[in-house]
Amino acid sequence: EIKRKRWPIGNVLNNLKMEFTMSKNVKYSDHLETIVALVTHLAMTRHKSRTPTILSSDLSLDHSEVSLVLNSFKGLFRESIKTTKQKDSGYVEHYYWLQLRYARWWLEEQQMFDEDNQAPLEPEYIGMLLSFISAMVEQEKAEERQTKVNYFSLTASICALVASIIAAIISSGLFLKMIQISP
């Protein structure tokens, strides 16, 4: 027997908005504040994983922005198989881990950690994550600068080409012949 999930209309609209936005190129620099807030929260909280609803509530962030970031930056966040158990509304959400926290849990064979509670990540791990995010933002900005330089160079090349064609036409005398032919 297949059970259908009933989604509240607000969540459906948020999911559609998220899917449309996710089809675009999502950048670290466009979501830097949300990424940093989610990384630091998931690194420092005693909970190993959280849902987008809980995270947006705890951090006072927009739910659709939190969902977009969690689903777009797979290198930082891992979607868990575990979901919420809200049977009354039919709306189910996945829990999300910080990838680094999940890797540590997995490497240590799940023995050191309680099912739902964990110690915060060590400061050096948090520092590495924030350095990685900062490096990605810098890389995106460098790519944007290079793209602008490339467009400027291309425009200058096209202008030079047009100018050389005009100069060739004028120097060949073809331009003077065209002027004399007209009545």
Q: What CATH number does residue 106 fall under?
A: 1.10.10
Q: Which residue has the higher pLDDT, 114 or 179?
A: 179
Domain residues for 14? 9-121
Report residue 20 as tokens: 């449309």
Tell me the per-residue pLDDT of 2-15, one tens digit each, with 9 for 90 and over. 444 444 444 444 54
Question: Over the chain, what is the mean pLDDT?
Answer: 81
Residue 99: inside a domain: yes
Residue 21: inside a domain: yes
Q: How far apart are CA 20 and CA 52, in angstroms?
A: 18
pTM listed for this prediction = 0.69
Tell me the per-residue pLDDT of 81-102, one tens digit each, with 9 for 90 and over. 888 876 666 678 899 999 988 8
- Kindly tell me if the per-residue pLDDT of 137 is higher than 60: yes
For the chain, the domain total comes to: 1
Residue 152: inside a domain: no
Residue 149: inside a domain: no
Mean pLDDT of 33-50: 93
CA distances from 143 to 12, 18, 138, 167, 169 (A): 35, 25, 9, 36, 39
Residue 128: inside a domain: no
| SS3 (DSSP) at 167 | helix
Give the residue from 95, 89, 98, 149 showing the smallest Cα distance to 120. Answer: 98
